[in-house]
C-alpha cells in the first residue's frame, strides 16, 4: 500500500510540475476567438483597465475572428469586437507571471487543456492501482470488507474520470471545469433519485414480508431506514436554500460575498455523501453476487452447515433444508469428480421454542438421506453465525492435526457473504456455497453488509471522504477568488 501511495504521490507532483511549466511557457500569448458573420465588417478595440496587451495578429477564419495577443502588464484588459450593429466583449486577465486567461481569473489559457488531461492521467492510474489491488485481495480471500470498500471507491472514481474526460472536449478553463464538477455531483444524485424511490418501495415491500416471516427487529427495518434516507436527503439542499433565503443569514445571490459559495459547499457535500453511499451499496451488491457465483473447489475435507430456525416438531424448515440439500449436492459432485468424501459439521444450538437443537435436526435429516453417522460432526452450542463458525472450526481442529485442512460452509445464498466475512474476521479460511431462497431476504442482506462495510472500513471511508471534502473546499475557493479578483 505504501508503494502505491508513493507512486501516486510521484505521479501527482510530476504532473503538477509539467502542468505549471507548460502554462508558464506558453500562457504568455493567447488566441482569443470571436464568432462573427463573414460579410460583416469588424473593428477590434482594446481597453486597458489595469493591465496591458499587445495585438500580434488579427484574422478571419471559418466564421471566427481570431486575435493573437501577448501580455505586457498584469491586470485586466477588455477586448471589444465591434460589428455593424452589435459588440462582442471578452475580459482578459494578465497574471503577475504574465499568463493570460480569458473571462475569469482562472479561465482558459493557452494549452490549459493540460489541466484536465493531467487529472485524467492521475485518476486513470489511481483506478489502475485500485483495480489491481482489488484483484489481489479477491484472489487472497473474497470475503473481506476491504473488497467492498475498494470496489465502492473504484465505482466513485470511475464516475469522476468519466466526467473529467467529458470536460476535456470543451475545456473553458479551471473555473468552468470546477463549476461543472460541482454540478455533476448533484446531477448524478438527482438522476439516481427515481431509482432510489423505486428501491425504497421494493425495500418497504420486502421488509413487510420479512417482518411477517421473521418478526419485528431493528435489523429487519434497516432497509426502510436506508430507503427513507436515500429519498429524503436529496431534498436537503433545497431546504437549506429556503432556510438561508428566509433567515437572510447570507446573501446567496451576491457573487462578491461568501453566501453563494457557502451554499454551494453545503449542497455539494450533501450530494457527495449520497453519491458515495450509493457507490458503496452498489459495490456491496456486486461482491455479494460474486461470492455466490464463485466456483468452490472440489477438495473439501469438511462442510459446515450453518443452522437456522427449525419447526416445532423438530423437522427442518424449507430454508434450513435448502442449506443441507445444497451441502449434500456438493458432496455428491465432489465424490463423482474426485472420489474424495467429506465430513459434515452440522452447527446450531437449541432455541427456547425448539424441542431439539438445530444441529440434531440436521443430523437426523442427513442420516435419512443415507449419510453415515461417522461422517457427521455435531456442534450444538452456537446461537449465531459467529459462534457457528467458531465452535465448528474448534471441533474440526480437535479432529485434525493437519493445518492445511480444506473447509467449506453451506448456507442460504444471501448469507454466503456475511458468513464468509465472519470467518475471515476469525482468521479462518473457508469457501461458501449457497442455496436458493426468497427474494425478500436479499435486500436486507445487502443493506446489512453495506452498513457492516462502512463500520469495518470506517477509517478508509473517512480518510477518502475527507480528501474529497478538502478537494471540494479548494474548488469552492477557486470559484470564489475567480469572481472576486
Residue 130 three-state SS: helix
In whole angstroms, give the CA distance from residue 32 to residue 377.
Answer: 81
pLDDT of residue 390: 93
Task: State yes or no: pLDDT of 195 exceeds 70.
Answer: no
Which single residue is written with the C-alpha cell 475572428? 65
The CATH architecture one would assign to domain 28-98 is: Sandwich (2.60)
Instruction: Kindly state the average pLDDT of the residues 179-184.
Output: 69
According to DSSP, residue 248 is labeled T
What percentage of residues in the chain have a pLDDT greater than 90? 27
CA atoms within 13 A on the CB side of 196: 23
Residue 429 three-state SS: coil
Contact 171, 116 (CB under 8 A): yes
In whole angstroms, give the CA distance from residue 296 to residue 413.
Answer: 14
pLDDT digits (tens, 9 = 90+) for 30-46: 998 888 766 667 788 88
Residue 57 three-state SS: strand
Within 8 A by CB and 6+ apart from 54, the residues are 69, 70, 71, 72
| Domain spans in the chain, listed from the N-terminal domain onward | 28-98, 116-293+455-484, 302-405
C-alpha cell recorded at residue 181 = 464538477
C-alpha cell recorded at residue 98 = 504574465
**pTM over the 0.85 mark:** no
Evaluate whether the domain defined by 302-405 bears CATH number 3.30.460.30: no
Mean pLDDT for the chain overall: 82
A 10 A CB-CB count for 140 gives 12
Which single residue is written with the C-alpha cell 436479499? 442
* Range name among 34-38, 54-58, 87-91, 336-340 with the lowest pLDDT average: 34-38
Within 8 A by CB and 6+ apart from 251, the residues are 257, 259
pLDDT digits (tens, 9 = 90+) for 212-267: 655 555 555 655 666 666 667 667 767 776 776 666 666 656 666 677 777 778 77
In whole angstroms, give the CA distance from residue 445 to residue 437.
Answer: 12
Task: State yes or no: pLDDT of 333 exceeds 90.
Answer: yes
Instruction: Kindly state the average pLDDT of the residues 393-412.
Output: 86
Instruction: Kindly state the average pLDDT of the residues 25-34.
Output: 90
pLDDT of residue 376: 92
In whole angstroms, give the CA distance from residue 376 to residue 303.
Answer: 10
Within 8 A by CB and 6+ apart from 363, the residues are 346, 373, 376, 378
Amino acid at each position: 500500500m505504501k508503494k502505491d501511495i508513493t507512486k501516486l504521490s510521484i505521479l501527482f507532483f510530476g504532473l503538477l510540475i509539467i502542468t505549471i511549466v507548460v502554462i508558464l511557457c506558453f500562457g504568455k500569448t493567447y488566441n482569443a476567438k470571436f464568432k462573427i458573420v463573414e460579410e460583416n465588417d469588424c473593428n477590434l478595440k482594446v481597453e486597458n483597465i489595469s493591465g496591458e496587451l499587445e495585438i500580434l495578429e488579427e484574422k478571419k477564419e471559418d466564421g471566427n475572428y481570431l486575435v493573437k495577443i501577448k501580455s505586457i502588464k498584469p491586470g485586466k484588459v477588455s477586448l471589444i469586437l465591434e460589428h455593424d450593429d452589435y459588440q462582442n466583449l471578452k475580459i482578459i486577465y494578465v497574471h503577475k507571471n504574465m499568463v493570460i486567461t480569458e473571462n475569469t481569473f482562472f479561465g482558459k489559457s493557452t494549452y490549459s487543456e493540460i489541466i484536465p488531461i493531467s487529472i485524467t492521467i492521475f485518476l486513470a492510474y489511481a483506478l489502475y492501482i485500485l483495480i489491481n489491488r482489488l484483484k489481489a485481495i479477491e484472489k487472497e480471500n473474497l470475503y473481506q470488507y476491504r473488497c467492498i470498500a475498494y470496489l465502492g471507491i473504484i465505482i466513485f472514481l470511475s464516475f469522476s474520470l468519466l466526467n473529467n474526460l467529458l470536460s476535456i472536449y470543451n475545456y473553458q478553463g479551471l473555473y468552468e471545469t470546477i463549476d461543472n464538477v460541482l454540478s455533476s455531483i448533484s446531477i448524478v444524485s438527482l438522476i439516481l433519485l427515481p431509482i432510489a424511490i423505486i428501491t425504497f418501495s421494493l425495500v418497504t415491500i420486502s421488509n413487510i414480508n420479512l417482518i411477517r416471516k421473521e418478526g419485528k427487529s431493528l435489523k429487519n427495518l434497516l432497509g426502510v431506514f436506508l430507503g427513507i434516507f436515500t429519498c429524503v436527503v436529496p431534498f436537503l439542499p433545497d431546504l437549506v436554500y429556503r432556510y438561508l433565503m428566509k433567515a437572510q443569514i447570507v446573501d446567496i445571490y451576491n457573487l462578491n460575498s461568501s453566501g453563494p459559495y457557502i451554499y454551494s459547499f453545503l449542497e455539494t457535500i450533501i450530494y457527495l455523501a449520497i453519491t458515495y453511499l450509493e457507490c458503496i451499496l452498489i459495490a456491496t451488491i456486486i461482491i455479494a453476487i460474486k461470492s455466490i457465483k464463485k466456483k468452490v473447489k472440489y477438495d473439501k475435507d469438511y462442510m459446515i452447515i450453518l443452522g437456522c430456525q427449525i419447526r416445532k416438531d423438530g423437522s427442518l424448515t424449507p430454508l434450513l433444508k435448502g442449506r443441507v440439500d445444497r451441502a449434500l449436492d456438493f458432496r455428491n459432485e465432489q465424490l463423482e469428480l474426485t472420489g474424495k468424501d467429506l465430513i459434515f459439521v452440522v452447527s446450531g444450538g437449541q432455541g427456547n421454542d425448539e424441542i431439539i437443537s438445530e444441529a440434531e435436526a440436521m443430523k437426523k435429516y442427513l442420516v435419512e438421506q443415507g449419510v453415515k453417522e461417522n461422517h457427521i460432526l455435531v456442534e450444538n452450542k452456537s446461537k449465531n453465525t459467529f459462534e457457528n463458525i467458531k465452535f465448528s472450526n474448534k471441533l474440526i481442529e480437535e479432529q485434525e492435526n493437519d493445518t492445511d485442512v480444506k473447509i467449506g460452509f453451506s448456507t442460504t445464498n444471501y448469507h454466503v457473504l456475511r458468513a464468509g466475512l465472519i470467518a475471515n474476521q476469525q482468521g479462518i479460511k473457508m469457501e461458501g456455497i449457497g442455496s436458493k431462497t426468497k427474494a425478500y431476504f436479499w435486500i436486507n442482506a445487502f443493506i446489512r453488509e453495506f452498513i457492516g462495510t462502512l463500520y469495518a472500513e470506517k477509517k478508509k471511508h473517512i480518510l477518502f471522504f475527507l480528501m474529497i471534502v478538502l478537494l471540494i473546499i479548494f474548488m469552492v475557493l477557486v470559484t470564489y477568488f475567480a469572481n472576486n479578483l
